[in-house]
Structure 1
Amino acid sequence: MAIRNPRLPLLPGYGSNPLIGKKSFGVRPIFTSIDKVNMLVDKAEGVNRIPSLYCRKQTPDLPTWIMYDKNILRFQAFFQQTLHEMRSGAHILRKVEIFFFLEDGTIKVIEPKTDNSGLSQGTLISRQRIRLPFSSDLYYDLLDLNIGREVTFYGKVFKIINCDHFTRGFLNRLGINVSDPIPWPDAIERTPDTKRPPKHRPFRQFLDFDRQVLRFHGYWDDRETEFGTIHHLELHYFLADDTMEIKEVLPPNSGMEAGPMFLKRMRLPRKIPPHIEMTGGPKHTSYGPADLSIGAVVNVYGRKVVLTDCDPFTKEFYRVTYGFDTFKPLPVPKDEGTECITTTLAERKLPPWNGYGSYEDSAENCRTVEPKAPHRDFIKFLHKDRVGFDSHILRFAGRLINDNPDDKRRYFIIKYFLCDDTIGIFELGERNSGFKGGKFFRRGKMYLPNVDFFVPKEPPAYTDNDMWIGNELVINNHCFRLIAADEYALRYMELHSNEYPMANIALIMDKIRRTLASQENGYKNFVAKYMEAVSPEKSELMSVRCFKQALKEIMCEKMTEHEFFTLIRHFRGDSGKDKSPRREMIRSLVFTDLTRGLWDDRARLREGLAHADTSGLGALRPERVRQMLRAHRLPINRDLLDCMLDVLEKDDNCNIVCEDLMSFLDFQTRPVFNLTEADYQKVVRHAPPVKDTECKLWAEAETLIKEGFVNWNAFLCQLNLEHLVKEQTN
């Protein structure tokens, strides 16, 4: 403060401003360099007591706020708070957690919240740098926090007793010795005072047992009185204040008027004196947890209540507290006077279905006056609806079975939707056949044949267990035979073989094993007869046609067509057969779509494949090839694209050879293979329509079943019947 000149009068305009000409205000800014980063600090260099965590010239290049980001030291401590308003206790101990942030040296103190503590808990000291007591320029650092030390934060003394594993390991790496944990003050053993009994503290009991209730089931037999009966009761014992309440449990439609409580919440005395004075008297002992158990009789003001059972929490409480292990419930006696009274409701019978709407809709309108939508199985819809590429739709190829020769050439796709057990049927139209194709039967529930529809209960419908190759479905007086299935349906049924026995390889092999074991010399003759049918080039392979014939001879009609498919897919060996006809058929379909779409950009596609092949191996992953073809706008649908990628040449790592792809799309120098009339009909029949993008490129089941070979040795090894040959020989 500037001193006023006494010669000048104390009037406005005669005083001088002491701040005129001053250039420095407040604390002088001090700049320093920490880890090659210039920053402003609040104290001069050399005053800070924090030592370097590394040796000289070994400091990391990164700054501390990057090196120690989210690295926090955690200590457990307590402090003592004095109580001036309570006579019973002079102070209480409060447990806290101290967090030290390594990135900037800040400290945060938190007290964990405790139910019914009566204290304002949570963050006691927010995150900040805390000065040392009696110091204006020194702050708490890493060396001031350790187990056994006392720190003072804003007048409160905290005693550190423990730390976590990360803190102990971090301090040990710095060469700082960390002591063993110190027990909490309330955990220290003290010698009990034997001069006087311990004082009952109801508040401590309330804090320890609040919201903990023992529940018993029992009954009161009142059949000795007129119109008496057996009352089913439920006893609640509150551990917080040793009170209990009793409620009466009445069955529905019992005809009895239910009271609010059998016994309101109170302390129930064990013995009732003969005369109770209204003005008061000596207190009598009340029931406690030790007096309650299964089989105990509680005297509720002259009413004998027998306890018969208890809930799981009560059993665990008595097991831990009193060491009880047996909790066998007691039977409740039956009231002979009320045995003839039945309270069961009669089953509601709905009127027969009138043919309008669906069964669910009609039944829901009969149950309620207000029309409501039928409830669907939401849990099944949630799990079986389309999830990504998993459509949960089983697609099968079918043929019509009737005496009309024109219907035998028609080709159908039968879809089974697992989310709601509905079936949709579509027809693949053939050119110049007289049938348009498209939707044949709309999606809905397909019921079994020869059932009565106009009944109260819904008749049985086809399920997913009825969908297997070789089965015949009669839908609306049309008989369909399932002749093939797409790859997704076959794969889905094999992955969930526990639900579909036709795709369970273990059940199929067990069926073959039991059939061969029941025949005399069955396995020996079976192996000897078809030993010569094995391929001479590869001794472990057998043709699919011969394998199917061998199984039909021993199984007869015991094996379905779908089970043959499952066996052939499981024991599939090297096909050993040229697939050029199928490749040329697919190439013809691709050529048709490319010609229709006026696509001719092979040069740009070759350039794109070369750019994508960064390793220079001449092969790309199928996903990358599909992405490149889509990027160059090939006018073919996704199903035909998958079939094309399947027939292309691949290397040892299952990558598609780029040169073979370009040769496959070269229709100028390598024209389309001249197909026969039969092959052309197959191409036209199995080609997906232009407007129907959901249809797959189907192939005949018989054509697929005749291709390739089966690993005969693997089949015999899994059959595991060599012991029969030894027994039959001996």
Structure 2
Amino acid sequence: MSIRNPRLPMLPGYGSNPMIGRKHFGLRPIFTSLNKVNMLVDKGEDYDRAPSVYGRKQAPELPAWIVYDKSILHFQAFFQESLHEMRVGTRNIRKVSIYFYLEDGTIKVMEPRTDNSGTWQGLLIRRQRIRLPHSYDLYYDVLDLNIGLEVNFFGKVFKVVNCDNFTRVFLNRLGINVPDPIPWPDAIERTPENKKEPKQYAFKQFLDFDRQVLRFFGYWDDRESEYGLIHHLEIHYFLSDDTIEIKEIFPHNSGSENGPMFMKRMRLPRKLPPCVEMSGGPRVPSYEPSDLSIGAVLDVFGRPVVLTDCDPYTKEYYRVTYGFDAFQPLETPKDDTIECISTRVSDRKLPPWNGYGSYEDSAENCRTVEPRAPHRDFIKFLHKDRVGFDSHILRFAGRLINDNPVDARRYFIVKYFLCDDTIAVFELGERNSGFNGGQFFKRDKMYLPDVEFYVPEEPPSYTDRDMWVGNELVINKHRFRLIAADEYALRYLELHCEKYPMANIALIMDKIRRTLASQENGYKNFVAKYMDAVEPHKKELMSVRCFRQALREIMCDKMTEHEFITIIRHFRGDPGKERSPRYEMIRSLVFSDITRGLWDARERLREGLLHADEASAGVLTAHRMRQLLRAHRLPVNDDLLDCMLSVLDKDEQCNIRCDSLMQFLDFKTRPVFATDADYLKVVRHAPPVKDTECKIWGETELLIKEGFVNWNAFLCQLNLDHLVKDQP
């Protein structure tokens, strides 16, 4: 640094720049450590840190941003806001929430939002460290916030009145006494001359009761006047400003036009004075909530309106506010004129169906002159329409029953659509059989046999309760017997067993239990006779053929074929042989996506399963299994992933076995890749019309007829051991 010669003038060229060569300008930034966190301070070596809350040897070893991560102290406070343009009061009380973040000592102030408050609410002070008033190096800390204290944030004084349980426990552990909560003050501080409540449109009443409406139902009997009738009314009482509006409800096809309001929203006076001055003067007393009740009569400008009933919200309001418990509705007088009109409309009968088109279409054309499309059950369509792989279509295999021996060998697929209760029939054509196969009956609503069709009312049709294995359906004078069902249909009926008794295992077991209990020594002879039929190497298993014969001997004709299938599926004793064609189909689709996505992380998936299975039980929930597969980037869409999880082996709590998943994804036993046509079979549930699909249905029937049943589990669920003990 050069020094200027004082003898030389201060002109350009007579001196040098003193800043040339310098590298540091101003004060050097100083860093210090607070709770092992480096922080920048704006002072030099004379920086004086604020004392810590903990002792020297009690401070946490980890940094504060790790120890106190997501640890927040919550205080409730209020501040006063001056009211300069209101005659009812001088100050307004605004409630806020103060959040103190322990990780870095920052503070945030929020005000809860209130509808129609008229003020800007929400975030008042963003998250930051706030200095103490009249200080430049000290900030608000935990010791400065407690119930009963006042804090000054940027010129606003906040009074702390309450805190949450976490804050109270945290301060108590620090040795800080937390007082009891302080009650909230009034919303508006009244001036001495305005101590009384305002007479009209109270601001507090508007905030407390906005959008709260009491609804009553009533009538006005005007039959004494000429052409008079009973007016059905709906009375709305607005608690926010004590106003009333009345709407008139016109019956259907009453001949009256829906006009304006019976009475517009206004304060309804209890008694109209002889002379009412519209400007100035004292206010006329109006109706209040205490004046309204079931059976009360309102004087609506000379028209007596009787209240007959109210809605559930109004009943709860009077039950809480006034302690009323009796809400017996009153009967409305019947108007003979309206009753005759409605009776004539409701009793109108349609002409008999002529057979052209569908019944719904013909009935809709008879109800109105303008042709309209028939109305369908839209709610049922939304719930039972196709959702991904869940098609809501029940497929059954059927045989044609008649005297022709050729037709006995024909194979049919009967599809029932749950979305609109329609049935379609397809034929599986075999080679050199003389039948081409394909669509046999198009999709339509199938009516029950031996019913009269040409009647005004629609005849009964087949429903989903008629679709079960062993039942006979007469469709267009062709008798079909349902001999089998696919996995989706059987599973759907079992999941909704409360609607389908043929798939309800509880009802089936109760039927068997009552039959054995009614026979003398029935259960004892039943167990002793078939005890030797159990497999010698596995004493708890019995063949399906022997089990079916045992049930037929005790039940005779009391059990249907579908009930046999349900009980065999429930007590299946060899889950390894239960691999259905659908299992292999889904597995081939999964391997197609895996090969297309070049996924080869099977060993990492095995490690992830072992890490997730903390109890070493070998099972995981479906939700956890789906998370792991997504974490390991298995290239499979959501619908196919749900189908894959549905076919894996599960335990009694419906948890998926990890070894079943690894066996499913085993590259050594990978299946043949599925074609696009096979993919459409699973995704779209296309009608089975190919010869190759006959093998699928045949294998499905063999899965039910072959295999083993857990005999011990069946006897345990029967729970009839007490009959053996009681009998000699």
Provide Cα deviations, 1:303-324, integer angstroms capped at 9, x if missing partner.
4333333333333333333322
Provide Cα deviations, 1:419-467, integer angstroms capped at 9, x if missing partner.
4444454555555555555655555544545566677766544333222
* Aligned twin of 1:179: 179
Contact residue 78 and residue 158 of structure 2 kept, 8 A: yes
Contact residue 523 and residue 724 of structure 1 kept, 8 A: no
Q: 1:182 to 1:331 in 2, by over 3 A?
A: same
Deviation at 1:160, TM superposition (A): 1.8
- In the alignment, structure 1 residue 298 sits paired with structure 2 residue 294: no
**Equivalence map 1:268-667=2 (5 Å):** 268-273=268-273, 285-335=285-335, 340-342=340-342, 345-346=345-346, 347=348, 349=350, 352=353, 376-387=376-387, 390-428=390-428, 430=430, 433=433, 444-449=444-449, 460-515=460-515, 521=520, 523=522, 527=526, 530=529, 534-535=533-534, 537=536, 544-572=544-572
* Aligned twin of 2:134: 134
Q: Which moved more, 1:163-172 or 1:338-347?
A: 338-347
Provide Cα deviations, 1:6-62, integer angstroms capped at 9, x if missing partner.
x9999x98999999658665664223456766564434464331627684596445x
Deviation at 1:562, TM superposition (A): 2.0
**Equivalence map 1:15-164=2 (5 Å):** 28-32=28-32, 40-44=40-44, 46-49=47-50, 51=52, 55-56=56-57, 59-61=60-62, 63-86=63-86, 88-164=88-164
Contact residue 235 and residue 246 of structure 2 kept, 8 A: yes
2-structure distance, mates of 1:281, 1:102: 61
Flag the structure with larger Rg.
1
Q: 1:695 to 1:130 in 2, by over 3 A?
A: farther
Contact residue 429 and residue 437 of structure 1 kept, 8 A: yes
Q: 1:513 to 1:240 in 2, by over 3 A?
A: closer
Q: 1:244 to 1:397 in 2, by over 3 A?
A: closer
Q: 1:235 to 1:8 in 2, by over 3 A?
A: farther
Q: Which moved more, 1:703-712 or 1:104-113?
A: 703-712
Contact residue 219 and residue 305 of structure 1 kept, 8 A: yes
Deviation at 1:70, TM superposition (A): 3.6
Structure 1, unaligned runs of 5 or more: 1-6, 594-606, 632-640, 647-651, 666-687
SS at match of 1:95: strand
SS at match of 1:499: coil
1-structure distance, mates of 2:113, 2:564: 67
Deviation at 1:171, TM superposition (A): 3.4
Contact residue 31 and residue 40 of structure 2 kept, 8 A: yes
* Aligned twin of 1:673: none
Contact residue 571 and residue 713 of structure 2 kept, 8 A: no
The TM-score, its normalising length taken from structure 1, stands at: 0.70
The TM-score, its normalising length taken from structure 2, stands at: 0.70
Provide Cα deviations, 1:309-367, integer angstroms capped at 9, x if missing partner.
333333333333332222222233344676555465254737846656x6666766777
1-structure distance, mates of 2:667, 2:238: 83
Q: 1:365 to 1:714 in 2, by over 3 A?
A: same
User: Which amino acid is the alignment partner of residue 139 of structure 2?
Assistant: Y
* Aligned twin of 1:216: 216
2-structure distance, mates of 1:505, 1:432: 42
How large is the Cα RMSD of the aligned pairs? Answer: 5.5
Deviation at 1:693, TM superposition (A): 6.9
Deviation at 1:89, TM superposition (A): 3.1
2-structure distance, mates of 1:516, 1:161: 72
Contact residue 353 and residue 456 of structure 1 kept, 8 A: no
Deviation at 1:698, TM superposition (A): 2.2
Size of the aligned set, in residue pairs, is 646
Contact residue 548 and residue 564 of structure 1 kept, 8 A: yes
2-structure distance, mates of 1:55, 1:152: 30
User: Which amino acid is the alignment partner of residue 182 of structure 1?
Assistant: I
SS at match of 1:317: helix
SS at match of 1:698: helix
* Aligned twin of 2:676: none
Deviation at 1:153, TM superposition (A): 1.4
